[in-house]
Chains A and B, each alone.
Chain A
Amino acid sequence: MTREPGASFDGFGLGLRPPHYQQFLTEHVPVDFVEVISENFMIDGGRPRYILDQMRERMPVALHGVSMSVGSSDGLDLDYLARLKALVDHVDPLFVSDHLCWTRIDGFNSHDLLPLPYTDEALDLVCANISQAQDVLQRQMLIENPSTYLQFLDETMTEWQFLDVLCDRTGCALLLDVNNIFVSAVNHGFDPIAYLDGIPADRVRQIHLAGHSQGRDRLIDTHDKPVPPPVWALYAASRHRIPSVATMIERDDDIPPLADLLDELDIAREIACEGERQAA
């Protein structure tokens, strides 16, 4: 069906962001991979594509999308898919991922990761869209659990049950965002450990770590702060269940010096090592 590159990759990486381009190109940065936002490089040319090519010569690159809209009831955008396919063929990325969400309906694109109702109808639709994407891309996709700020009245399953069936029916894998689990667990009052126990651990290929902010009534997934202690604790719990997986820090706003992110990545390495020691 589809290629499954990166299935045994368990390195540590960072999201590649413009303030750090120069250091990545001119210094040795101790990471095993970088992840880029796919859409930022689905362009005809210019410096961003040059940077991407340079990075690809140095280390594996993961492509992380925000606009596939696998939950759109009017299907995938074929122009988008063709452009992503061209980028995938050019980069030969470690992973190709996007979010369990929808962004687009009837030609309107919110550019926000909007929540899906976890119903049989949505599950059928998302399965069909992901299968189509994997067929076009000729490779397995990783689907990321989103942070959500509301739940719908007619939901018939939990998010982790939805993801479990999704993996089973499409052959896709998971990008587990541990911060998103924490944010949604606090916002909706579920047990994050039950979430970890409910997902198919053997399908998790990559983990995102990030920070969040306290809004007036909800935690908000802002990616503008260091990874906080409760997210580190949840990461430790996840590594007990998922011993071999790629991990990265995802920082998108108030981006600190690269050294700060590398320090955070060292914490992740220590937690992963501790998990391995305990497992042994």
Chain B
Amino acid sequence: MTLATLQRSFRNWLTDVPVAMEVWVDGDARAGLDIYHNAYRVQLVECLKDTFEKTLLWIGDDAFINAARTHIEQTPPSGWTLGVYGKGFDQTLASLYPDDPEVAELAWLDWALSRAFECADCVPVAADALTAVDWDQAVLVLIPSIQTGLARTNAGAIWSALEAELTPPDATLLPTPGTMLVWRKDFTPCFRTIEAIEQVALEMVGSGSSFTALCMSLIEQLGSEAGIAQAGAMLAEWIDQGLILAINQPEK
């Protein structure tokens, strides 16, 4: 039998697929096999604990380990880095906690912040660069670390309280579902909950629409004066928070 056959048998052993390992090792090796079988799970559980720190605090150690073991059974790791293993853990939690949507949202937030942490570096546009912009032609470019996710609950407030080591609020549904916006400023991952109007505006910018098109959209929604004011306010906040990588001005 070949090395490939041995390695497939070993993979099956690790992942609880029935396999006859006695073909490969003698009876004394059972203790060794058990060590590898255990180490595989322990390492993945620890990886998830590190990545989903606030989710762990929220649901507690026993519940988290049970969820992690479910995830490990359903989603064996495939990437070369453990750093990506948490992808989809929020969906596992959503299926395990259908009546507690804040759990999956907390996990999404933990995951998005961890991705932002190691995203590519960039130098966002500074406020003093705005004076030279021809706004009729301007196209905003977002920084690469931006991610958005659905916010139906107060998971953001729970996350912030846990981060500050304060007693977190009870989980509640938001009066109106919003969006969690995650990004990195300098080396610090950040987030805030945004309303639908800003989420749509960021989507427009992200898809390459011009600043003029954004203003027209806002004017259509809010009226001329309020639309222009809203565009200006959002732009000021995006610049202040380091969300804009560049302001391109294509040739007319």
Contacts and interface: CB of A to CB of B under 8 A. Distances in A.
Interface stretch (A190-198, A200-208, A211-219, A229-237): A211-219
A263 interface: no
Interface in B1-17: 2-4, 6-8, 10-11, 14-15
A150 B25 contact: yes
Contacts of B25: 150-153
A43 B118 contact: yes
B39 interface: yes
Given A107-B78, A150-B25, A151-B25, 15 more contacts: A39-B83, A42-B81, A44-B144, A46-B119, A50-B121, A67-B80, A67-B81, A74-B4, A102-B7, A105-B4, A116-B3, A117-B6, A150-B33, A151-B29, A153-B24
Interface residues of A, number: 48
Of B6, B15, B47, most buried by chain A (CB within 10 Å of CB) is B6
A114 interface: yes
Interface of B: 2-4, 6-8, 10-11, 14-15, 23-26, 29, 31-33, 35-36, 39-40, 43-44, 47, 76-83, 85, 117-122, 144, 184, 187
A48 B14 contact: no
Contact of B36 (A39, A108, A112): A112
- Give the 3 A-B residue pairs with the shortest CB-CB distance, closest first: A150-B32, A149-B32, A217-B31
Contacts of B24: 117, 152-154
A218 B31 contact: yes
26 contacts: A39-B82, A39-B83, A46-B121, A46-B187, A67-B80, A67-B81, A73-B4, A79-B80, A105-B7, A106-B11, A107-B78, A108-B15, A109-B77, A110-B11, A111-B40, A111-B77, A112-B39, A114-B10, A114-B36, A116-B3, A150-B29, A153-B25, A153-B26, A216-B31, A218-B35, A220-B35
Contacts of B85: 111
A109 B31 contact: no
A184 B24 CA distance: 19
A99 interface: no
B118 A45 contact: yes
A33 B218 CA distance: 57
A119 B24 CA distance: 13
Nearest to B9: A105
